[in-house]
Structure 1
Amino acid sequence: MPDDVSTAGRPHIDIASVQRLAELADYVVPFAIRAICTLGVADHLVDGPLPIPDLAKRSNAEPQALLRVLRALAGKGIFTETEPGVFGLTPLAQPLRSDHPVSLREAYPLLVGDLQAWARFDYTLRTGRSSFEYVHGMGYWEYMVEHPEESKRFDGSQAAGTRVEVRTVLSAYDSWAGLNSVVDVGGGNGMFLIGLLSRLRHMRGTLFDQPHVVANAHGLLREAGLTDRCTVVGGSFFDDDVPSGADAYLLKRVLWSWADDRAHLLLSRVREAMREDSRLLIHEPVSFPGDSDEVGKAYDLILLTMGGGCARTEEELHALLGGAGFRISRVIPTPMFPLVEAVPAT
């Protein structure tokens, strides 16, 4: 007889499971973390614990509200109440600092448009269609154009994620030393490529994306001191030639945004640009069956809700890449998304 069924046929009461489910279903703590990030509370605790009156003044918060929020978060290990009404940082709170090497302060914005979409996630579950488009009557990127403040905060969240991705990919992939040139296809404003080139000083890079997308990359490259090692090329990977002849081609969170027909065209354009000894690196969520707890599965739900694509299975990637003239040589796990290495099929 299963452990969760009593002799009377009723479910066995497993209090630990009930408590765990309540914790997973509760959105109080995620909202509290996001609000604390918005106020920059962790930044004011860098030099040590502070009493609530001082911390509230520096954070522009109401003292009693801040006290209640920090006590709730301290109960989860985020901040610590060192003495009554005095709070400091914990290891979990450290990444909420703006100056942390992999700062996550901007990773968790409170975006009204997103929250309204999640409130109707049942629509997505019933129909398979984007609740964001259902609620707002427009696509995600159209909405961001009309709401520049939310768009700015969204960009900040992407930059925070990129800092983490750079570090995880660098440590997971053992072949960087043999790559002297890389093209970041659909690389946005170049933050990921800048992260790579800053740490791999033997490498040269090319950033390739729509002209209006790469417009801000020049300034970022100057700030990073990389203008002599990185070329910026504006163009469409569907309509224009992808820069050719590099050792490696990178697609970071690009392929998942497109249906199979467009993804096949994108991959074919990249394949045309590659040498026979070049390799393709794909870094994005992959959907694995089973009960494993992977960040990609949660990202897949974000895509489903916001109407931005899907995470493919490894089998689907094999088929898609094979149809475009590639074969997968290995799939490398990272703390974020897998890194899929593919080479031209012989």
Structure 2
Amino acid sequence: MNSQVVPLPLLNLTFGVHAFKALALATDLGVFTELSGSSTTVPRFAERHGIDERPAELLLTACTALGLLHLDDSGTYTNTELSQEFLVRGKPYYFGGRVAVVDRHEYPAYLKLADSLRGNYPVTWDAERQESLFAPDDPVMVEFFWEGRYTLSAFSARRVAEKLDFTAIRRVLDVGGGGGAFAVELCRHHPGVRVTIFDLPFVCDLTRTRITAAGLADRIPFVAGDFFADRLPEGHDTVLLSNILHDWNEADARRILAICADALPADGTLIICESFVGDDKRGPAPAALMSLNMLVEAWGRNYTAAEYTSWLREVGLRTERGSLLDGAPTTAALVARKARP
């Protein structure tokens, strides 16, 4: 036995469930929102939430160890910079919606991961009864998924708006843009840009309120439709696909790319934002794990940049560059341009 090899990395992996459930419970209780501009102690926290001091201390200690709370020498807990920025409801990049989706929608499905592995089918929805994951009659999806979609995408959208050159871009078609995160961030950062959200009718209805609240209704119109059944609206110099393609199997992903290419004018731009698995299929871990998540969620996986480059070439688009989105849940943006005839 190699004495230099120890099981601690494996133990740390098993702690993942404990860490996530501590985050999910504290977020669901509104702990970080409660402590925005305030503080608490174990007795005060226990009294406020109607619980004994022992469980109160255990949860607060766990959150402190995870870097979500700060404990001073007087026994007072406050938010850390991380939780203050991303776990306080109402903040621009509030991440609690994504936490709720994983807790309510994805976490239970992992109890059936072996079923998905053996049967090669998703378990977060009824594949025999529903046409797809995105069903308007699924209460969990309606209540949590689209809010979680926004919170997962908002910071990535900000990075795209900051890092990519939008000088020549005026009209963006955000295909499957429900939630509105990319539309909002692009318009906020680039006053000359208008973004059309194309998505299913019920998703458009759920997203309108957020666009209105952002004060951008005059620059972010909606077109309701199904990209497999309806022609994409014309008049856009750029098409955006953000976290769409990984939901679909290879044949459907290539079909979506062809549909988007057909909607672009000559010299038009296609932007693909995804968590790309490396071309060598060795990682990175977040993209690989999100790809595994598709086993319980849908029929796709996280594809590689090399695969996208090949598929784009088949539909007349030339990959120009890729940009890493540092610190964002979506790892990179791939930019391609439609060739002139």
Give the TM-score normalised by the residue count of structure 2: 0.86
Which residue identity does 2:337 align to in structure 1?
A: V
- Quote the residue 1:184 is aligned against: 174
Among 309, 315, 323, the residue aligned to 1:318: 309
Return the alpha-carbon distance in structure 2 between the equivalents of residues 142 and 131 of structure 1.
10
Return the alpha-carbon distance in structure 1 between the equivalents of residues 58 and 131 of structure 2.
34
Superposed counterparts of 1:244-263, under 5 Å = 244-263=234-253
Contact 1:166 1:192 in 2 (8 A): yes
Among 1, 9, 33, the residue aligned to 1:20: 9
Among 194, 199, 205, the residue aligned to 1:215: 205
Superposed counterparts of 1:83-122, under 5 Å = 83=73, 85-94=75-84, 95-109=86-100, 111-122=103-114
Among 328, 333, 341, the residue aligned to 2:319: 328
Per mean C-alpha deviation after superposition, the further-off stretch among 276-285 and 74-83 is 74-83
SS in 1 for 2:82: coil
In structure 2, do the counterparts of structure 1 residues 20 and 155 end up closer, same or farther at CA, with 3 Å as the change threshold? same
Unaligned runs of 5+ in 1: 1-9
SS in 2 for 1:182: strand
Shift of 1:210: 2.4
Contact 2:136 2:202 in 1 (8 A): no
- Quote the residue 2:44 is aligned against: 54
Among 144, 156, 159, the residue aligned to 1:153: 144
Contact 1:330 1:342 in 2 (8 A): yes
Superposed counterparts of 1:66-85, under 5 Å = 66-83=56-73, 85=75
Unaligned runs of 5+ in 2: none
- Quote the residue 2:158 is aligned against: 167
- Quote the residue 2:115 is aligned against: 123
Shift of 1:62: 4.3
- Asked if 1:340 corresponds to 2:334, the answer is yes
The percent of aligned pairs where both chains have the same amino acid is 23
- Quote the residue 1:241 is aligned against: 231
Shift of 1:128: 4.1
Among 30, 35, 48, the residue aligned to 1:40: 30
Aligned residue pairs, count: 333
Contact 1:189 1:215 in 2 (8 A): no
SS in 1 for 2:290: helix
Structure with the bigger RCO (C-alpha within 8 Å, sep 6+) is 2
Shift of 1:23: 1.3
Contact 2:93 2:155 in 1 (8 A): yes
Among 269, 272, 275, the residue aligned to 2:259: 269
Shift of 1:236: 2.4
- Quote the residue 2:296 is aligned against: 305
Give the TM-score normalised by the residue count of structure 1: 0.85
Superposed counterparts of 1:195-206, under 5 Å = 195-206=185-196
Shift of 1:138: 6.0
- Structure ID, larger Rg: 1
SS in 1 for 2:202: coil
Shift of 1:146: 5.6
In structure 2, do the counterparts of structure 1 residues 113 and 245 end up closer, same or farther at CA, with 3 Å as the change threshold? closer
